[in-house]
């Protein structure tokens, strides 16, 4: 870990001022940042501790517009929040299935949404080639050990996966995110926060320098009670997804009126599958409909040496999630 | 930088490198070596301590950022010759360890697991104790210990 | 006086005597030992796997504030030799020269005022290599394959296995593979070195403190008497801390150069290449039987990866050739040299990889014969070692099968694959045999008994979670007639009498025998004093008839006097006894070898009078999701007959832990290697998976009572390894039963079952 400046701020304006310094990083739970700093993958010049802003940016509220989540609320408290579990089970389940109880006590919602890939070639600096870490150096993961990496949204420059669970669920539900910078505030769909790698995999988000995530808004939809998060992994807990599906179904008399589908563990960013949703809406729900949607979801999958199984696993995961969601008593 | 930490009810003032983690301060500066380093990467749970009653990882906590919180380590549960905390006693009773290296982290995590209300069933204990790896694999005995201690701690 | 249960004996399920220290955080592991004003070391590891270092650029590293010293081959290469090779062949070097043998080799040590400064500077060390393309593993270009010559391990050729196979009615011919695995004890590889007046003290987690001392003495060209190695508690080892690693000498050199204690806590990732691992293996098995199920031929050929210079191998054919009665047996082992660090022993080193193919092949054979897998084992059970023709000292394989099968409910199994189901989950039941040689180490122990009736036992045993503290105390308490609380155990220190290597299920029996000998010496001296005294109740009796029990010296007729009075007759009212134990099969200089740091283990496979093994049976239920293929073990029952058990409580934990290791081996563990760079990719415990609590459901370990008067005087066989053996196969067999897919390459993963 390189040494860094340390600034403990107590208000949003102070944070924004400190955050615009080149090399400064916001720091709340620290579970992603410290990890990557210890590995020498990230070398921030300054840490701006925004933990004390939790009082201002940590609220969880449900109203007629939907669910409002302060960016600095901690994963554990949101996971255990009764309103979240009741109205948006997919969110509670995604949070509960992520990381460990200790990490969920530490990590903020914004931090987990911004977590970075677990691609080993990104995390290990003894590999020279990583376009995400060192732009233009190449991609050692292509041709290497890449079983955990992405098959959706990848490019010839990067096949890293987005490893998170919560953002996968959030993005499926059409969440918007509030941002605050020195120039003011703005909102955008969460789907537009993360970028695909293309030929600039080192640019992971559309955040502007010094911009702070302040809140997430999940739209109101009573039918989102019929939702769930299914995570398929090599061990039962405390493991990243090989494939996951966040699904919500508006099912009326056996027909799909609305659907929300997010896919995790298989994509370069938090992935909402509009194609799969479109394949379901208006259709009578049955296993064939679920399979047709799953086929759409992975139509453009690109596989590498060890990821050949992932489209099939991803399809099966989605089908199982949809069948389970349709069977829920809500 | 100069920091003040409140650990097991005692205030400690010390100068540290800004990069120092809470775990390293405990172990290398304060002689509180009960909290263990098993990965230093948030993957094993051996460094679990309580901050304001919540279980967190010492290896992912900057010492500077731990100021202002009440920190409890394994050493804060039972003094020399004092009666053991019910969770410590339960680990003894069930042989819920072998090498003992992950044990302080398991015990701190288990206490929080109970106080959070995540120890209602054996399945829930298994899931909510999954942030603490035990390579000796005492897991079934850890579950039994948590189930015993939660009653002694006044939880159902 | 009636027997009182509070007088502990061998065989009692008492809690660990160091338990309180462990649950209060007071137990000192090596890196917990307080030393004054330490400097902190961070290792620099190579990022090339083969070649030479062309040059270092240390300017940036030296400029980091707080850096005290940087060691490379250029400034310290001559100051330490490499550890002696373990096994045949040569060992890789580290900082002796510019030579690079493998990725992650130690090429530098940065020492600084703080851990943070040392790590920062280590990242700033510039290295230029003259690198060559490395050979990573099987099938990589440039590997050298050779037949392993008989030496430490033997091959067997009984009858004519090839002809018998060709002529047989029912045949199985299959190939198998097992992956690289790393021990990953939760305690990291740490070393703290301090010098005082030319003497070195090393705090390091070790399974063999005398071995590490002896190695360091040779490496640093010192008198071993000037080196002390301390490892009071060891945070898991599983084999990884049994072989001296290169790091220790360099930390000693660093501390000597600074004249200040130096502390190293290597990172989790560094542990993958600075210590050993379980090498990947391949197997070709041919098994043939008559229609009655009796085996006619067994041919087992193995391939094992090792480093470029080392011939290290585990040769588990020494067990597979002994499992079942068979008139025609042929075994062979090949070693494949690669540009990797040298492998070493990891829990049940030969038997985890080699019993997997045999016990899966037995399952395949049972299916081909239409026989129940348990019955196939019964038909082929034997009390005679088929490889040598000599008798087993005892063998309770079928008692284990029968007890475990009954407990598991095996009779309710429907044999057809995919025939059992719970909703969306396919159920599979499988079983396999377990076996591990009954080994025993030489050892020495000292017992001090004071007039207050308090005893101290000194033996450089190792408590790596195996319960050594407690079984030593139990043995001494019983033999001295004391309460457990009256016995203090000192271990894990090379200043104490040597106990050998804590590995290979040889330690408990080795240390208990040594302690029992020393206690016998105490008893004999008290008894002689009592019988040669002119006064007292035992005057003139035969000292051999007196025993120490329940705080008294007792005669056969019930005459007794308090221990305190009996002790008063010996000079000074206190005793110190030292005794050595040389187990059958070892030469008389074995304890001398231990003092000099060499191993001295009598192996159950190498005795000339008998073959000694522990046996067991494993039964598992797996659940495989019919759609998404996740495999979880919902139930496991193992039964093990391992002779006399000193402490059923700690033994149960060992066996249960071993079984869970087996779940891990079959379903989770594999070190992934990027073959282009011969580099481990998942060198951490988030991506190298071991089970978490939620993975482990019902795991039941049954201890099957077994008496064996031949194996050793106490009748002990050791239980550290056998719990893991057979689980690979039992789980693979269960997955076959659940899904109809026969998985012969481990670990079993989702993609195998889609």
- Neighbouring chains to A with at least 3 Cβ pairs closer than 8 Å: B, C
Domain boundary among B42, B76, B110: B76
C458-496 pLDDT, tens per residue? Answer: 999 999 999 999 999 999 999 999 999 999 999 999 999
Q: How far apart are CA C567 and CA C522, in angstroms?
A: 10
User: Is B101 near chain A, with CB under 8 Å?
Assistant: no
Q: What percent of chain C has pLDDT over 70?
A: 99
C595-653 pLDDT, tens per residue? Answer: 999 999 999 999 999 999 999 999 999 999 999 999 999 999 999 999 999 999 999 99
Among B48, B60, B128, beta carbon nearest to A35: B60
Nearest CA in chain B to C22: B100
User: Is the same domain home to B43 and B14?
Assistant: yes
Buried b (16+ CB within 10 A) or exposed e, B63-88: bbbbeebebbbbbbbbeeeeebbbbb
User: Is the same domain home to B44 and B69?
Assistant: yes
Q: Is the pLDDT of residue B80 over 80?
A: no
Query: Is B81 inside a domain boundary?
Result: no
Q: Which residues of A touch B128 (CB under 8 A)?
A: 101
Q: Which domain holds residue B117?
A: 86-152
Domain boundary among B43, B76, B109: B76
C19-26+441-602 in CATH: which number?
3.30.365.10
Indicate the SS3 state at residue B30: coil
DSSP C346-387: -SSTTHHHHHHHHHHHHHHHHHHHT--HHHHHHHT--SB-TT
**Which residues, including other chains, have CB under 8 Å from residue C5's CB and lie 6 or more apart?**
none
Classify the phi-psi angles of C536: left when phi > 0, otherwise alpha if psi is within -120 to 50, otherwise beta: left
* CB-based contact C653 B91, cutoff 8 Å: no
Q: Please, which pLDDT band fits residue A141 given cuts at 50, 70 and 90?
A: very high
With a cut of 0.90, is the ipTM above it?
A: yes
Q: Which residues of B touch A102 (CB under 8 A)?
A: 42, 45, 48, 55-57, 109, 131
> The domain spanning residue B139 has which CATH number?
1.10.150.120
Topology agreement, domain C19-26+441-602 and domain C33-132+186-237+241-274 = no
Q: Which residues of C touch A145 (CB under 8 A)?
A: 672-674, 681-682
* Continuous H helices in C467-506: 468-480
Q: Which of A28, A34, A104 to mutate to test the interface with B (most CBs of B within 10 A)?
A: A34
* CB-based contact B99 C32, cutoff 8 Å: no
C213-247 pLDDT, tens per residue? Answer: 999 999 999 999 999 999 999 999 999 999 999 99
Nearest CA in chain B to C694: B126
DSSP A131-153: TTTSTTS-BTTTTS--TTS-SBS
DSSP assigned state of C93: P
Q: How far apart are CA A127 and CA C47, in angstroms?
A: 8
- Average pLDDT score over residue span C91-96: 97
> The domain spanning residue B30 has which CATH number?
3.10.20.30
Q: Please, which pLDDT band fits residue B156 given cuts at 50, 70 and 90?
A: confident
Query: Is B26 inside a domain boundary?
Result: yes
Distances (CA, A) of A111 to A32, A202, C574, C626, C697: 7, 18, 66, 35, 33
C299-324 pLDDT, tens per residue? Answer: 999 999 999 999 999 999 999 999 99
The DSSP H or E segment spanning C584 is none
Query: Is A271 inside a domain boundary?
Result: yes
CA C234 to chain centre: 13
Torsions phi, psi for C549 (to 5 deg) = -155, 135
The DSSP H or E segment spanning C146 is strand C144-147
Query: Is A303 inside a domain boundary?
Result: yes
Q: Which residues of A touch C679 (CB under 8 A)?
A: 126
- Average pLDDT score over residue span B110-119: 98
> The domain spanning residue A247 has which CATH number?
3.30.390.50
Question: B135: closest CA among A173, C692, C517, C73?
Answer: C692
Among B1, B55, B65, beta carbon nearest to A105: B55
Q: How far apart are CA C105 and CA C273, in angstroms?
A: 6
Q: Which domain holds residue A19?
A: 5-48
* CB-based contact B55 A101, cutoff 8 Å: yes
- Average pLDDT score over residue span A199-215: 97
**pLDDT value at position C2?**
39
Q: Is the pLDDT of residue C62 over 50?
A: yes
User: Is the same domain home to B113 and B72?
Assistant: no
Helices (H) and strands (E) in chain C, counts: 18, 32
Q: How far apart are CA A228 and CA A262, in angstroms?
A: 11
User: Is B124 near chain C, with CB under 8 Å?
Assistant: no
Nearest CA in chain C to B78: C24
User: Is the same domain home to B7 and B66?
Assistant: yes
DSSP assigned state of A267: B
Count of other CB atoms within 10 angstroms of residue A206:
12
- Average pLDDT score over residue span A200-228: 97
Taking one residue from A and the other from C, the number of pairs with CB-CB distance under 8 angstroms is: 86
Buried b (16+ CB within 10 A) or exposed e, C45-74: bbbbbbbebeebebeebeebebbbbbbbbe
Order of all β-strands in the sheet with C455-458: C487-490, C455-458, C443-449, C575-581
Domain boundary among B37, B52, B76: B76
Query: Is A35 inside a domain boundary?
Result: yes
User: Is the same domain home to B110 and B92?
Assistant: yes
C724 close to C352: Cβ distance less than 8 angstroms: yes
Q: What percent of chain A has pLDDT over 70?
A: 100
Query: Is B40 inside a domain boundary?
Result: yes
C374-424 pLDDT, tens per residue? Answer: 999 999 999 999 999 999 999 999 999 999 999 999 999 999 999 999 999
Buried b (16+ CB within 10 A) or exposed e, B6-20: bbbeeebeeebbbbb
* Continuous H helices in C533-630: 563-568, 590-595
Among A143, A237, A320, beta carbon nearest to C694: A237
Two tokens, residue C18: 């160091």
Q: Please, which pLDDT band fits residue C1 given cuts at 50, 70 and 90?
A: very low
Among C120, C629, C681, beta carbon nearest to A120: C681
* CB-based contact C674 A124, cutoff 8 Å: no
Beta strands in C149-266 (DSSP E): 157-158, 170-178, 190-196, 199-203, 227-230, 262-265
B153 close to B87: Cβ distance less than 8 angstroms: yes
Q: Please, which pLDDT band fits residue B78 given cuts at 50, 70 and 90?
A: confident
- Average pLDDT score over residue span C192-209: 98
**pLDDT value at position C534?**
87
A260 close to A293: Cβ distance less than 8 angstroms: no
User: Is the same domain home to B67 and B90?
Assistant: no
Q: Which residues of C are catalytic?
A: 721
Torsions phi, psi for C574 (to 5 deg) = -145, 160
CA torsion, ordered C47, C52, C55, C57, to nearest 10 deg: 20
C157-180+277-304+314-439+607-752 in CATH: which number?
3.30.365.10
User: Is the same domain home to B6 and B70?
Assistant: yes
Among A120, A140, A317, beta carbon nearest to C687: A120
Domain boundaries, chain C: 19-26+441-602, 33-132+186-237+241-274, 157-180+277-304+314-439+607-752
Query: Is A205 inside a domain boundary?
Result: no
* CB-based contact A316 C628, cutoff 8 Å: yes
Number of domains, chain B: 2
Distances (CA, A) of A324 to A239, A245, A266, A318, B77: 22, 11, 20, 10, 44
Distances (CA, A) of C72 to A165, C76, C164, C245, C584: 44, 6, 58, 17, 46
Q: What percent of chain C has pLDDT over 90?
A: 97
C678 close to C102: Cβ distance less than 8 angstroms: yes
Number of domains, chain A: 2
Query: Is A285 inside a domain boundary?
Result: yes
C36-49 pLDDT, tens per residue? Answer: 999 999 999 999 99
C487 close to C455: Cβ distance less than 8 angstroms: yes
What's the distance, Cα to Cα, between the start and end of chain C in Å?
A: 68
Distances (CA, A) of C638 to A198, C316, C671: 53, 21, 27
* CB-based contact B36 C27, cutoff 8 Å: no
User: Is A317 near chain C, with CB under 8 Å?
Assistant: yes
User: Is the same domain home to B38 and B100?
Assistant: no
Q: Which residues of A touch B118 (CB under 8 A)?
A: 101
- CATH number (3.40.50.1370, 1.10.3720.10, 2.60.40.420, 3.90.1170.50) of C33-132+186-237+241-274 reads 3.90.1170.50
Q: How far apart are CA C450 and CA A242, in angstroms?
A: 63
Mean pLDDT of chain C: 97
Indicate the SS3 state at residue A191: helix
Q: Which residues of C touch A1 (CB under 8 A)?
A: 116, 119-120
**pLDDT value at position C121?**
98
Question: B19: closest CA among A112, A9, A44?
Answer: A44
* CB-based contact A124 C630, cutoff 8 Å: no
User: Is B128 near chain A, with CB under 8 Å?
Assistant: yes
């Amino acid at each position: 870990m390189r040494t860094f400046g340390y600034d403990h701020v107590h208000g949003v304006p102070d944070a924004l001022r400190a955050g615009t310094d080149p090399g400064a990083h916001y720091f709340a739970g620290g579970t992603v940042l410290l990890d990557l700093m210890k590995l020498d993958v990230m070398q921030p010049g300054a840490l701006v501790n925004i933990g004390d802003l939790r009082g201002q940016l940590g609220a969880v509220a449900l109203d007629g517009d939907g669910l409002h989540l302060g960016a600095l609320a901690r994963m554990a408290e949101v996971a255990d929040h009764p309103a979240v579990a009741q109205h948006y089970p997919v969110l509670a389940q995604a949070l509960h299935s992520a990381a460990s109880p200790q990490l969920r006590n530490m990590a903020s919602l914004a931090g987990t949404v911004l977590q970075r890939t677990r691609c080993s070639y990104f995390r290990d600096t003894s590999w020279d080639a990583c376009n995400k870490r060192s732009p233009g150096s190449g991609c050692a993961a292509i041709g290497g050990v890449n079983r955990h990496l992405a098959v959706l949204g990848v490019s010839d420059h990067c096949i890293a996966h987005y490893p998170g669970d919560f953002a996968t669920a959030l993005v499926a539900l059409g969440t918007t995110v509030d941002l605050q910078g020195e120039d003011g505030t703005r909102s955008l769909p969460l789907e537009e926060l993360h970028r695909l790698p293309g030929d600039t995999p080192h640019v992971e988000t559309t955040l502007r320098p010094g911009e702070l995530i302040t809140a997430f808004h999940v739209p109101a939809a009573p039918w989102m009670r019929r939702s769930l998060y299914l995570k398929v992994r090599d061990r039962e807990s405390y493991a990243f997804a090989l494939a996951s599906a966040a699904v919500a179904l508006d099912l009326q008399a056996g027909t799909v009126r609305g659907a929300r589908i997010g896919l995790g563990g298989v994509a370069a960013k938090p992935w909402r599958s509009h194609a799969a949703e479109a394949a379901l809406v208006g259709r009578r729900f049955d296993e064939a409909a679920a399979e047709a949607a799953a086929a759409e979801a992975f139509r453009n999958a690109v596989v590498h040496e060890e990821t050949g199984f992932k489209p099939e696993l991803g399809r099966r995961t989605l089908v199982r999630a949809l069948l389970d969601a349709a069977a829920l008593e809500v | 930088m100069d920091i003040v930490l409140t650990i097991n009810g005692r205030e400690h003032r010390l100068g540290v490198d800004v990069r120092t983690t809470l775990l390293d301060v405990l172990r290398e500066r304060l002689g509180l070596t009960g909290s263990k380093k098993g990965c230093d990467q948030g993957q094993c749970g051996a460094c679990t301590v309580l901050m304001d009653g919540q279980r967190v990882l010492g290896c992912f906590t900057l010492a500077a950022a731990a100021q202002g919180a009440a920190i409890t380590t394994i050493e804060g549960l039972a003094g020399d010759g004092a009666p053991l905390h019910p969770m410590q006693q339960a680990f003894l009773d069930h042989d819920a360890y072998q090498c003992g290296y992950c044990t302080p982290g398991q015990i701190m995590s288990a206490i929080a697991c109970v106080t959070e209300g995540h120890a209602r069933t054996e399945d829930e204990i298994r899931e909510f104790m999954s942030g603490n790896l035990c390579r000796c694999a005492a897991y079934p005995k850890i579950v039994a210990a948590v189930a015993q201690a939660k009653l002694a701690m006044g939880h159902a | 006086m009636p027997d009182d249960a509070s007088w502990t004996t061998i065989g009692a399920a008492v809690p660990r005597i160091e338990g309180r220290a462990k649950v209060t955080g007071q137990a000192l592991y090596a890196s917990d030992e307080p030393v004054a004003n330490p400097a902190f070391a961070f290792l620099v590891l190579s990022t090339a796997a083969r070649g030479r270092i062309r040059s270092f650029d240390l300017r940036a590293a030296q400029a980091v504030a707080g850096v005290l010293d940087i060691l490379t081959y250029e400034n310290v290469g001559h100051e330490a030799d490499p550890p002696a090779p373990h096994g045949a062949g040569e060992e890789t070097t580290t900082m002796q020269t510019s030579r690079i043998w493998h990725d992650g080799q130690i090429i530098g040590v940065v020492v600084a005022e703080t851990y943070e400064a040392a790590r920062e500077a280590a990242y700033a060390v510039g290295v230029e290599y003259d690198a060559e393309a490395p050979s990573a593993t099987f099938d990589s270009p440039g590997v050298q394959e050779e037949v392993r010559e008989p030496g430490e391990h033997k091959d067997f050729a009984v009858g004519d296995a090839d002809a018998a196979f060709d002529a047989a009615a029912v045949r199985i011919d299959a190939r198998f593979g097992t992956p690289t695995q790393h021990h990953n004890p939760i305690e990291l590889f740490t070393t703290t070195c301090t010098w005082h007046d030319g003497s070195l003290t090393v705090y390091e987690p070790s399974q063999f403190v005398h071995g590490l001392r002896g190695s360091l003495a040779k490496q640093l060209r010192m008198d071993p008497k000037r080196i002390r190695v301390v490892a009071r508690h060891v945070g898991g080892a599983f084999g990884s801390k049994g072989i001296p690693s290169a790091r220790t000498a360099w930390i000693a050199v660093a501390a000597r150069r600074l004249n200040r204690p130096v502390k190293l806590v290597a990172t989790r990732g560094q542990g993958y290449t600075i210590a050993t691992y379980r090498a990947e293996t391949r197997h070709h098995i041919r098994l043939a039987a008559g229609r009655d199920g009796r085996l006619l031929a067994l041919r087992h050929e193995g391939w094992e990866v090792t480093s470029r210079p080392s011939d290290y191998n585990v040769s588990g054919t020494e067990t597979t050739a002994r499992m079942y009665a068979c008139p025609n047996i042929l075994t062979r082992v090949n070693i494949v040299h690669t540009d990797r660090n040298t492998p070493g022993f990891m829990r049940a080193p030969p038997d985890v990889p080699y019993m997997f193919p045999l016990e899966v092949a037995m399952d395949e054979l049972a299916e081909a014969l239409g026989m129940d897998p348990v019955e196939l084992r019964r038909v082929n059970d034997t009390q005679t070692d088929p490889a040598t023709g000599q008798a087993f000292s005892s063998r309770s394989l079928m008692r284990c099968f029968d007890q475990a099968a009954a407990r598991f409910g095996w009779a309710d199994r429907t044999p057809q694959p995919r025939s059992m189901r719970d909703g969306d989950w396919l159920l599979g039941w499988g079983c396999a045999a377990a076996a591990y040689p009954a080994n025993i180490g030489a050892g020495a122990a000292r017992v001090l008994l004071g007039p207050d009736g308090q005893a101290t036992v000194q033996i450089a045993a190792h408590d790596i979670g195996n319960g050594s503290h407690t079984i030593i105390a139990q043995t001494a308490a019983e033999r001295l007639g004391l309460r457990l609380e009256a016995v203090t155990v000192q271990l894990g220190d090379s200043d104490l009498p040597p106990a050998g290597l804590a590995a290979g299920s040889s330690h408990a029996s080795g240390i208990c025998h040594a302690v029992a000998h020393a206690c016998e010496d105490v008893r004999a001296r008290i008894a002689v004093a009592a019988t040669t005294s002119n006064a007292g109740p035992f005057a003139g009796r035969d000292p051999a008839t007196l025993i120490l029990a329940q705080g008294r010296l007792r005669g056969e007729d019930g005459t007794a006097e308090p221990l305190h009075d009996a002790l008063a007759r010996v000079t000074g009212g206190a005793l110190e006894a030292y005794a050595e134990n040389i187990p059958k099969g070892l030469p008389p200089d074995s304890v001398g070898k231990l003092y000099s740091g060499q191993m001295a283990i009598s192996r159950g496979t190498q005795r000339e009078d008998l073959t000694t093994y522990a046996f067991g049976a494993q039964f598992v239920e797996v659940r495989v999701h019919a759609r998404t293929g996740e495999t979880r073990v919902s139930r496991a029952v193992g039964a093990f007959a391992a002779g006399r058990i000193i402490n059923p409580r700690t033994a149960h934990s060992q066996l249960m832990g071993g079984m869970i290791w087996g779940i891990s081996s079959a379903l989770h563990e594999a070190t992934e290697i990027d073959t282009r760079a011969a580099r481990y990719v998942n060198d951490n415990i988030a991506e190298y998976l071991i089970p978490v609590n939620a993975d482990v459901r019902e795991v039941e370990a049954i201890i099957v009572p077994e008496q064996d008067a031949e194996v050793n005087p106490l009748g002990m066989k050791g239980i550290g390894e056998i719990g893991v053996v057979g689980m690979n196969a039992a789980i693979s067999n269960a997955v076959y039963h659940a899904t109809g897919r026969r998985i012969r390459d481990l670990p079993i993963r989702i993609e195998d079952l889609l």
